Structure 1
């Protein structure tokens, strides 16, 4: 069984759209969807009633905390961590199951943005191969639950870039992973609210500081100063 975990805070419209997309996937009937809502979320769980769909009102806010909390109640032996503003391809679940069947313990997806833009295409082209940015949350980590738990789940001290920190531990422990060459659709809203140059320079700075060992709270403070987030 596959458990799709979606951390959410203020994502009402995106959640409705994503739940609809997931409900139409092949093999979804053998999967579960857990929406991990922050304590401050404005989403009404009663707005959706679908088989295999569960809402969890988390005790604390923060992607790492919310995803960890959902993972503890997940019934699946494969965990999939999907952002609310990311849309999966039609063969999403099949791609995940095939990757695990091929002997990998984990994987990610390549992606493209939901806006046609030459520079965004350049950015997206890097997601299909290993690079300094591999492991970001928009690439949708999927992993065997046993491996995820053995690695200690996401670090809740890492209030920003918890995905990169977890990927760092994956590599240190030589967890076999694969990047699925079948694009997710990722929201370009961060670029629309800021600018291409500003987002790219900010991302490069934050990743560099993370690799130099800057603590999560300082990275989060810097991120919020550099970028406008809707």
Structure 2
């Protein structure tokens, strides 16, 4: 069984688009959908987003790592899929995951493209289909066997920004076999629309380098907030 976990913070608009699509993909499949709401989401969110076959979990704290770990503790499935609220899965999403995990792989990611078909964003998207410096970012949608996730002790809840990269570092340290599925997710380009292409890419490069150099999580979050306009907010 596959458990799809979506961490969300003020993502009503995106969830209203994503959830019906996921429910349709999960029809006649052994799968469940859990939306892990941050502590700051109001109860009205559940009413607005009322969807059959979707479970809403109100978390005690805000933060993607906390929310994803909280949902992972209550799942019924033996495969976990961590999907951001502004990312749309492709056709054959679930079958791609099942096929990959039948092979030698314990985990994997998806390539993606942006919902804005600009030349520069196509360049960015091209590299998501290959292992490299930025592999492991949350937009790529991590899927992983639950037994492996538990063995790695889940996400580091002290990471308030780079929890996905930190988890991927531990995957590599523990020699977890992973694959990148060449079936594009569709990722929102809103960060690029609120900021320039150059600004976003330079900030991403700076943050990943500083993370790899061991900068504290809170300092990384502070730098991120200075580099990227606050109008862009994610779970």
Counterpart residue number, 2:98: 97
Residue by residue over 1:9-42, the C-alpha shift from the partner in whole angstroms, topping out at 9 and shown as x without a partner, is 0100101110011112155641000000001114
**CA deviation map 1:162-213 (0-9, x unaligned):** 0000000000000000000000000000000000000000000000000101
Deviations for 1:88-131, whole angstroms, at most 9, x for unmatched residues?
A: 00110010111101121000000000001000000010000001
- Decide which moves more: 39-48 or 188-197: 39-48
Q: Which residue of 2 aligns with 1:2?
A: 2
The alignment partner of 1:210 has SS state of helix
Whole-Å separation in 1 of the counterparts to 2:163 and 2:27: 29
Q: Which residue of 1 aligns with 2:152?
A: 151
Q: Distance in 2 between matches of 1:50 and 1:102?
A: 34
**Mind listing any 5+ residue stretches in structure 1 that lack a counterpart?**
none
The equivalent of 2:46 in structure 1 is 45
Q: Name the SS of the counterpart of 2:135 in structure 1.
A: coil
TM-score (structure 2 length as normaliser): 0.95
Unaligned runs of 5+ in 2: none
Which position in structure 2 is the counterpart of 1:14?
A: 14
Q: 1:28 to 1:46 in 2, by over 3 A?
A: farther
Alignment of structure 1 residues 44-63 onto 2, 5 Å: 44-63=45-64
1:218 Cα offset (Å): 0.6
Q: Which position in structure 1 is the counterpart of 2:130?
A: 129
Preserved contact between residue 15 and residue 49 of structure 2 (Cα < 8 Å) = no
CA–CA distance in structure 2, aligned partners of residues 131 and 103 of structure 1: 20
Query: d(CA) in 2 for partners of 1:163 and 1:28?
Result: 30
1:46 Cα offset (Å): 2.8
- Report SS of the residue matched to 1:59: coil
